Amino acid sequence: MNADEREALRLDDTDPLPTLREAFHVPPAPGGTYAESAYFAGNSLGLQPKSTARRVNEELEDWARLGVEGHTRGRRPWVDYHEHAREPLARLVGALPHEVVAMNSLTVNLHLMMASFYRPAGDRTRIVIEDTAFPSDSYAVQSQAVHHGLDPAHTVVRLRPRPGEENLRTDDILDHLEREGDRVALLLLGGVNYLNGQLMDMRAITKAGRAAGAAVGWDLAHAVGNVPLRLHDWDVDFAAWCSYKYLNSGPGAVAGCFVHERHVRDPEVPRLSGWWGTDPATRFRMAPDIAPPASADAWQLSNPPILALAPVLASLEIFDRVGMAALRAKSERLTAYLAARLAAVPGLRVVTPADPAARGCQLSIRVPDAAALAGRLATEAGVLADTREPDVVRLAPVPLYSTFHDCHRAGRALAAALDHRPGG
């Protein structure tokens, strides 16, 4: 054991927030050097909390024991099951409880939000996204333009970094809104960019977008559970997120949505409707006309999938117990340590902002043959990262379960793998 490894272990032993690694199932590492993998793919799929199986099994037991009566007599009756997620989600995203709802999947929720908040009229038709938006967001906004009879090639505006730069400057976004704002109907950006890990200045951008007369929405897939959020105070119109990355709720987990209270209290806001979007007090009267509640629940379509929502509740319990302030502080310490380890490896180019305030816990590096490199990290060192074609490896030291020693392992494994490349 060298001095660097001893220092990593010391940092783990003395950190103000001890790791919660024991609360999660960590994949085993191959080769026998370490029992567990150093898991840096939580920005793609978070690890399973050990409490998840209990949560799901309780619902299976109630189903077996009660059948249909589980809707009203279960330990957590299914008829209002999603209510258990409301206050924890509100705390997590900085919202009022009636502004959030757990429902559907991320892209479904984005479409539901755009059905309400993308209202092209006259010259104000543009949808502004970042050029490196996640493909599903690109597809969604393009299809919304087509749905309104517009040409997506002219309607969708993709903001690009300056030549030679990797990240969008906040000033450039604000400048675009000042110059072109009267043509922008919707501004929809990722709170944390999936590719380069940049954390957007959501408060400043939202303020500028709304001042320009645009609706402002955020895709928080890589932000929720990663960075502190204040959606209500920032005056965001809407936001949507998935729950299988930093929220550790399992593949395809039930997603979430935020709608600012000024909209949930406005009966004139158009929306697509379904049975679960009517007032629960009158829902089972089976009336032909909807009576939406003054909450984000008005955007619900169907009753919640209980077995898929149970893992979300298990994860939210952990976030409530630890708190985002403590997690963010630990995240900054871990990410800074990993950044220092990567800086010591020749041939790596980190494309994530160096400023801790401008990034979450993900660090993205550009290297040739990224997929092959990630494969070597996994098989030879038990370091699990993920890639995005053609040349990006993403490493996310998640503060709930990643350790300083994991970061040490990643730096050492990258150095070894690059050193053995032809010409390395």
Mean pLDDT over 342-367 rounds to: 95
- pLDDT (0 to 100) of residue 306: 97
Does the annotation list 37 as a binding residue? no
Q: Is 244 known to sit in a ligand binding site?
A: yes
* Residue 300, amino acid: Q
- Would you state the pLDDT for residue 32? 72
Tens digits of per-residue pLDDT, 105-163? 999 999 999 999 999 999 999 999 999 999 999 999 999 999 999 999 999 999 999 99
Closest CA to 272 of 117, 96, 148, 83: 117
Model confidence pLDDT, tens digit, residues 320-340? 999 999 999 999 999 999 999
Region 280-308: mean pLDDT is 94
pLDDT of 423 reads: 46
134 known member of a binding site: yes
Q: pLDDT > 70: what percent of the chain?
A: 99
Q: State the pLDDT at residue 327.
A: 98
| d(C-alpha 208, C-alpha 235), whole Å | 11
CA distances from 167 to 192, 201, 379, 409 (A): 11, 12, 32, 28
Do the Cβ atoms of 196 and 130 come closer than 8 Å?
Answer: no
Q: pLDDT tier at 347 (50, 70, 90 boundaries)?
A: confident
Question: Which residues 6+ apart lie within 8 Å of 158 measured at CB?
Answer: 129, 130, 131, 133
Distances (CA, A) of 241 to 74, 98, 354, 381, 387: 28, 17, 25, 32, 21
Give the max Cα distance, the chain.
73
391 in a known ligand binding site:
no
Set out the domains of the chain in order of their start, with CATH numbers: 3-36+323-419 (3.90.1150.10), 56-320 (3.40.640.10)
pLDDT > 50? residue 70: yes
Q: Which residues lie below 8 Å from residue 376, measured CB to CB, with a gap of 6+?
A: 417
Rounded to two decimals, what is the model's pTM?
0.96
Q: Residue 20: pLDDT band by 50, 70, 90 thresholds?
A: very high
| Residue 167 in marked binding region | no
Q: What is the pLDDT of residues 80-114, one digit of tens each?
A: 999 999 999 999 999 999 999 999 999 999 999 99
Structural tokens at position 203 = 């408060």
Confidence of residue 422 (pLDDT cuts 50, 70, 90): very low
Residues 153 and 151: their CA atoms lie apart, in Å, by 5
Indicate the pLDDT class of residue 420, thresholds 50, 70 and 90.
Answer: low
Give Cα separations from 234 to 87, 93, 187, 218 (angstroms). 19, 11, 14, 11
- The SS3 assignment for 320 reads helix
Residues sharing a CB contact under 8 Å with residue 336, sequence separation 6 or more, in sequence order: 356
| Mean pLDDT, range 341-356, rounded to an integer | 94
- Residue 233 annotated as binding? no
The response to whether 273 counts as a known ligand-binding position is no
* Local structure of 107: helix, strand or coil: helix
Give the type of residue at 123. D
Mean pLDDT, the chain, rounded, equals 96
Amino acid code (one letter) for 310: A
Residues 6 or more apart from 141 whose CB is under 8 A from it?
114, 127, 129, 152, 156, 186, 188
160-184 confidence digits (pLDDT tens): 999 999 999 999 999 999 999 999 9
